[in-house]
Amino acid sequence: MPAMVAGMPFATLCGALAIAKGLSPAEVFAMSLLVFAGGAQFAAIEIWSFPVPVFALVVSTLLINSRHVLMGVSLRPKLHALSGSQRVLGCFTLADENWALAERRATVRPISPTYFLVMGIVFWANWVLWSLVGALLGPVLGDPRRFGADFAFTAIFIGLIVSLRTGRRTGAVIVASALTAALVRVLIGSPWHVLSGALAGFLATAVLRVDQPESR
Amino acid sequence: MTLDGTTFLAIVLMGLVTYLTRIAGLVIARRFRLDGRARAALDALPVSVLAAVIAPTLLTSSVAESLAGVVTIFAAFRLPLLGTVVVGVVAVVVLRLALGFSR
């Protein structure tokens, strides 16, 4: 499956960057196992410091993953073949890639419980496995900055932002968020830039009255 | 192989709120219809969080990162995610060499 092959280098990189930030392989394993959300994990690792900013990490994770709410809203009517408990368990592995695949599948034929649950578990296991590989190989490979690997994370986010944009107004939201974040980072420091940037983007959305967003 | 207490707490809470976002959509879809501003605000949140996380690297670290960011943005409009990352990484390595590895 091409989507899984594409996930491998990201998971490996995620593990390696986490190790460079001072997390242990066991902690990387636990995070991939319990959180299983690439964007949120990259963001968490970026703002990770000691003492651990628990509140900022949790809020940043919540905000980045808030897109799952929309994904769930859109997918729910297509999951009628699943029982209640299958949905409650199955949605644990809901993520960008398998959500997109499930939506595509639903346009052709109904989503069966087997399809949805097996696909979720495969993506989940794939992510956990390769992030652990990255965590174990990271120290062998050395400083990620040597290969520009630290910038891979920034590039991933740029790619995600471009693919998540819903129209021209998104540009204003991004500018408001980015400028606020850069300013707060310089004036106040990490990790508060994430919250203030997100808030600025949120206010920009409200001010711009985005009435007809494209559905995702 | 160590698990720090506070780190583990953070990870568990991160997992918990993430699961809440996953189950919330299924629950909401049964009870409410999200429309207009509520939907737009939710739609814009991931993008503004992602932008806030990377903005300091792009705008305040060094010229190499800023220029590589511009290159990467152009790439992102034309290439799939993996290609975008390759272009971004190559750009930052080349620019750091050309402009001096400084931070």
ipTM of this predicted structure: 0.80
pTM value? Answer: 0.75
Q: DSSP strand E in A22-131: where?
A: none
Give the pLDDT confidence score for residue A67 in this predicted structure: 77
The rounded distance, in Å, linking the Cα atoms of A67 and A71 is 6
Residues of chain B positioned with their CB less than 8 A from the CB of A8: none
The mean pLDDT value for B7-36 works out to 87
CB-CB contact of B85 with A13 (8 Å): no
A86 or A1, which is more confident: A86
Count interface pairs A-B at CB distance under 8 A.
Answer: 307
Q: Do A60 and B53 touch (CB under 8 A)?
A: yes
The mean pLDDT value for A185-213 works out to 77
For chain B, report the end-to-end CA distance as a whole number of angstroms: 32
Q: Which of A27-41, B22-36, B77-91 has the lowest mean pLDDT?
A: B22-36
The rounded distance, in Å, linking the Cα atoms of B72 and A90 is 35
Give the pLDDT confidence score for residue B39 in this predicted structure: 67
Q: Name the DSSP class of A191.
A: T
The rounded distance, in Å, linking the Cα atoms of B82 and B9 is 32
Q: How confident is the model at residue B70 (pLDDT cuts 50, 70, 90)?
A: very high
Q: How confident is the model at residue A149 (pLDDT cuts 50, 70, 90)?
A: confident
Smallest CA–CA distance from A70 into chain B, residue: B25
Least Cα distance to A124 among A23, A37, A198 occurs for A37
Give the CA count within 13 Å in the CB-facing half-sphere of B79: 18
**Token pair 């491998």 in the structure block, residue:** A8
Q: How confident is the model at residue B33 (pLDDT cuts 50, 70, 90)?
A: low
CA of A88: how far to CAs of A73, A85, A160, B44, B60, in Å? Answer: 14, 5, 27, 26, 43
Task: Tell me which residue in B21, B30, B90 faces A68 most closely, judged by beta carbons.
Answer: B21
Give the pLDDT confidence score for residue A215 in this predicted structure: 45
Q: Which of A69-73, A120-124, B16-20 has the lowest mean pLDDT?
A: A69-73
Q: Do B60 and A157 touch (CB under 8 A)?
A: no
CB-CB contact of A180 with A188 (8 Å): no
The mean pLDDT value for B53-70 works out to 92
